[in-house]
Amino acid sequence: MPYTKVNGVNLYYEIHGKGTPLILVAGMVSDSQSWLPVIKELSMHYRVIIFDNRGVGRTKPQDAAMTIQQITDDCIALIKHLGLPVVHLLGHSMGGFVALDCAIRYPKYVLLDIFKIFL
């Protein structure tokens, strides 16, 4: 089980598949396991990276402060930790706001053509 220490939390993450990196960001009360129904299919085409947001799942401490901006910063720190130059991002619920915040505040790390996978 991989972890990385970022921004005061021990962030849990998983990597599935190979190819262009695609980070999936869960909603506020969901952990990375909420993506299980789609990981198999997506990992056939992408290097899928999932993580537990701060305060949720296996990321510790459970009582860490949590804002969209902090989760965004955690996501970018994970991208840097993995040595990825750019990624696709996809989020559900609050994770969508995190993905949008990543694209706005850290555009050099985000590929903006994610919708191609759904066409």
Q: Which domains does the chain have, with CATH numbers?
A: 3-118 (3.40.50.1820)
The pTM (predicted TM-score) of the whole model is 0.92
pLDDT at 113: 64
Q: What's the mean per-residue pLDDT of the chain?
A: 92
Burial bucket for residue 48 (CB in 10 Å: 0-12, 13-18, 19+): buried
Does residue 115 surpass a pLDDT of 80?
no
Confidence tier at 119 by pLDDT (50, 70, 90) = very low
Confidence tier at 29 by pLDDT (50, 70, 90) = confident
Confidence tier at 27 by pLDDT (50, 70, 90) = very high
Instruction: Please enumerate in sequence order all residues whose Cβ is within 8 A of that of 95, keeping only pairs 6 or more positions apart, or say none.
Output: 24, 25, 26, 27, 30, 53
Confidence tier at 1 by pLDDT (50, 70, 90) = confident
- Whole-angstrom Cα distance, residue 56 to residue 41? 25
| β-sheet with 3-6: strand ranges across | 3-6, 9-16, 47-51, 21-25, 88-91
**Tens digit of pLDDT for each residue in 36-51?**
999 999 999 999 999 9
What average pLDDT does the segment 58-81 reach? Answer: 96
Largest CA distance in the chain: 40
